[in-house]
Chains A and B, each alone.
Chain A
Amino acid sequence: MKFVEQCPADASADLIYRVCPMHLLEPMELIKDLQPGQVLEILTDYDGALEDIPAWCAKHGQEFVGLCEDEAQEGCYKLYIRKLH
């Protein structure tokens, strides 16, 4: 698990309380609108995202920057993806 402090992001996807696999489907759509080098922040309360999102990045050639706990809400996480292509 790769942890980071709060990371500046160019776009954010709020997926808290949204069911699986929205934590993959919505970021896949949103990242299309970003430029290479830009960062997408994903807010989620779904534990499975902690494995799924790094795995998705590895499979699709995007950079998984890291994750941190969301201090604003217990049990929620922020994950960061940098678009490479």
Chain B
Amino acid sequence: MKTIYMDHAGATPVRPEVLSAMLPYFTEQFGNPSAVYDLGSAVKDAIEEQRAKVAALVGAEAKNIIFTSSGAEANNLAIKGVCLALQHKGRHVIVSGIEHHSVLNAARYLEKFHDFEATFLPVDRYGQVDPERLAKALTPATVLVSIQHASNEIGTVQRLTELTAVCRQAGVLFHTDAIATAGVIPIDVKALGVDLLTINGPALAGPKGIGALYFRRGIRLVPQIHGGIQEDGRRGGTENVPGIIGMGRAAELARHELPERAAYLQKLRDRLITGVLTEVPEVVFTGHPEQRLPGHASFCFEGIEGEALLFMLSRQGIYANTGSACASKALKTSPVLCAIGIRPDLAQGSLVFTFSTTNTEAEVSAVLRELPPAVAKLRSFSPVWRKRAAGGAA
């Protein structure tokens, strides 16, 4: 059975060009970048080349990029690093309510252990933060705002320039988690007006275990990994050299291919969205219809559970994801879907497709062939659906 993989927000295979760039750094180029002899300094030079490539992807300078072990670590460094550095000025941080857990929990950590106040901003029905609401949430004690560039769960892209303008006027630093957008849509840190920005290696079809943080010149960060002078004394620990090489090569490829890639993904996305909304009754499209990621389609199906639908599709070789995670025996509602006003029972029927250029029109056709009968079959033995069909639904 042929596999159709449409969960690229969850994990993406490393591109062959990326892997081949990495391989020598596991073996012959194994030197410690901090070593003064050639074997080390050559590796250090290679790291600096990759730093420039990652910087170029977001319109930054190489010296303003810090490599981390993941996007989650970069988010932690941005939020905890900046807030702790500025705590003498104020102890208030603002994040949106639909951020990744690495942002939400970093803010909660500051509340719990450092006497900060954290504000979790609500979003509208598309998942966007209202700039006026952000302006009203700012206080004289606010030192940082963190709002994602786009949501991996509902695909919505924030109107970031409007949000950063609010913060710039108030003199408050702005961080964005751009894991969903780096290499997917154009990013220029200066045009966006962000002070810090998170990028993740795997999201660029690079390896896992590598991420990066852009920080505007002059921003102080309290290190979150205490150690040596790696990353100019801002993040200790011997560098993940193969990971950095892979991320640099992936960033280089992503930058060159971005316009064509975005157009291709958008075509697949729009065909899938149109097809699902046409072929399947009682389905709700989630996220913004226009201001959304080019390779992202997300839905909530009435009367069924997304987990069950994932299972049915996986038996046909189709791999997607759901926004509602089954944690323990209790079905937990996705906080993101909850935040955009999706009813808890409807949120259970969430399904998310995220594409890459390895996906094809034929694969979208196959999904459109398999999905409607899978939904119909699950509904046929769903008491929730039967109740709804009998007119008993809310």
Contacts and interface: CB of A to CB of B under 8 A. Distances in A.
Interface of A: 14-19, 21-22, 25-26, 73-74
A20 to B, nearest CB: 8
Given A14-B218, A14-B220, A19 B226 contact: yes
B228 interface: yes
Contact of B88 (A15, A19, A73): A73
Nearest to B221: A17
B218 to A, nearest CB: 7
Closest 5 CB pairs of A and B: A18-B233, A22-B233, A19-B233, A17-B222, A16-B220
A22 B232 contact: yes
Contact of A19 (B85, B220, B223): B223
B218 A17 contact: no
B229 A19 contact: yes
Contacts of A19: 223, 226-229, 233, 236
A18 B229 CA distance: 8
B222 A22 contact: no
Which of the listed residues B221, B223, B229, B233 has the most CB atoms from chain A within 10 Å of its own CB?
Answer: B233
A18 B234 contact: yes
Interface residues of B, number: 15
Nearest to A15: B233
5 contacts: A14-B220, A19-B223, A21-B229, A26-B232, A74-B88
Contacts, number: 29
Contacts of B226: 19
Q: Secondary structure at chain B's binding surface: helix, strand, loop or mixed?
A: loop
Interface string B210-229: 00000000101111001111
A28 to B, nearest CB: 13
Which of the listed residues A16, A19, A21 has the most CB atoms from chain B within 10 Å of its own CB?
Answer: A19
Contacts of A25: 229
Contacts of B236: 19
A18 B222 CA distance: 8
A62 B88 CA distance: 34
Given A18-B234, A19-B228, 15 more contacts: A14-B220, A15-B233, A17-B220, A17-B222, A17-B234, A18-B232, A18-B233, A19-B223, A19-B226, A19-B227, A19-B229, A19-B233, A19-B236, A21-B229, A73-B88
A15 B228 CA distance: 14
Contacts of A26: 232
Nearest to A12: B218
A57 to B, nearest CB: 21
Contacts of B218: 14
A19 B366 CA distance: 55
A29 to B, nearest CB: 11
Contacts of B222: 17
A74 B85 CA distance: 12
B340 to A, nearest CB: 38
A16 B226 CA distance: 14
A20 B229 CA distance: 7
Nearest to A23: B233
Contacts of A16: 85, 220
A17 B88 contact: no
Interface string B231-243: 0111010000000
Nearest to A72: B88
Contacts of A18: 232-234
Contacts of B229: 19, 21-22, 25
B232 A17 contact: no
Contacts of B234: 17-18
Nearest to B89: A73
A24 B283 CA distance: 62
A22 B233 CA distance: 6
Contacts of A21: 229
A74 B236 CA distance: 25
Nearest to B236: A19
A24 to B, nearest CB: 10
Interface in B348-388: none
B295 to A, nearest CB: 38
B50 to A, nearest CB: 21
A15 B233 CA distance: 9
A46 B232 CA distance: 15
Contacts of A15: 233
Contacts of B223: 17, 19
A22 to B, nearest CB: 4
